[in-house]
Structure 1
Amino acid sequence: MGKVFINSYAEFEQYLGKEIGVSDYIKIDQNKINLFADATMDHQWIHVDEKRAEVESPFKKTIAHGYMAVSLVPHLWNQIATFNNIKMLINYGVEKLKFNQPVIVDSEVRLKVKLASLTNLRGVAKAGLDAELEIKGNPKPAFTATVVLLYHFK
């Protein structure tokens, strides 16, 4: 399935109840985890202390922050779909977020998205995207959630 291009509410509506697509994989290395730790000031050892994680972590390696995994949604969603003819896109919320599996350092993850709901709010498209962050080689996703976005089409 290739990248999807959406130019209007009517075109977006055609995906209701359907999988829109899957992103490319992205590798989550220690440098990315450390940068996220710096940005969020969350330096818990399970994320940044490789030597301690080797000894004390049940995973024997560091893991990405759960919210780091969630923060990948905009980047990966942009690989799946391009929206034309919009004035503005607003992150509205995240519903039913559940962390299922840790993202262990050097894992590869990708996003799979289904359009669960779409509502026309006086010209603003309120989209509920069922999002799943898959971990390569792992049958359970890192997280599942409904990401809610507002698209202001021209």
Structure 2
Amino acid sequence: MSALQNAITESEKLIGTEVGVSNWITVDQKMIDEFAKTTQDEQWIHVDPERAAAETPFGGSIAHGFLTLSLASRFAYDCFDMLPGQVMGINYGMNKLRFLKPVVAGSRLRGRFTLQKVTSKGPKNLLRENLLTVEIEGEETPALIAEWLGLAAFED
């Protein structure tokens, strides 16, 4: 059996199960400020903690939704190793994404991955769809949920 076929067979056994929970990461004001500069989105709700505390219901500045989403790659590094025979992993995109709760500066986040679907994508690739839930420590409502597609590329 090829490495790809083996990966498909083993992955199918995990559909519907939680396949990884990442470590916690703190989203502090420095991270938010750096993201704001990189993306040129320096709206005051992100970069002016005093004004955000005074003029918003959040109690301080909040992370960009796309900053929270961008941490998905970091969460995945905590949760997934390369499969036998896999030569690389490629971000294939999102099917659905919802931002459910703002992330206040200083919050700790982690990602939870539940495998939803696996599909052969050509002769050398495995497409995996995971439900990603980004939790905020101490909060019932997650920061976001997304259906994330990852392509595992295999050698010949």
2:114 aligns with 114
Q: Is the 8 A contact 2:53 2:59 kept in 1?
A: yes
Give the distance between the partners of 1:109 and 1:20, measured in 2 at CA. Answer: 17
1:74 aligns with 73
Give the distance between the partners of 1:15 and 1:77, measured in 2 at CA. Answer: 16
Give the distance between the partners of 1:92 and 1:109, measured in 2 at CA. Answer: 23
Identity %: 37
1:25-79, Cα deviation, whole Å (9 max, x unpaired) = 1111000101111111110100001121121111120000000000000111110
Give the distance between the partners of 1:153 and 1:82, measured in 2 at CA. Answer: 14
Q: Is the 8 A contact 1:53 1:60 kept in 2?
A: yes
1:146 aligns with 147
- The runs of at least 4 consecutive aligned structure 1 residues that moved more than 6 Å come to none
Deviation of 1:10 after TM superposition, in Å, equals: 3.1
1:12 aligns with 11
Secondary structure of the 2:20 match is: strand
1:36 aligns with 35
Secondary structure of the 1:61 match is: coil
Q: CA RMSD in A?
A: 1.3
1:89 aligns with 89
CA radius of gyration, larger in: 2
Structure 2's unaligned 5+ residue stretches are 1-5
What residue identity is the alignment partner of 2:130? Answer: L
Secondary structure of the 2:37 match is: helix
1:4 aligns with none
Equivalenced residues, count: 148
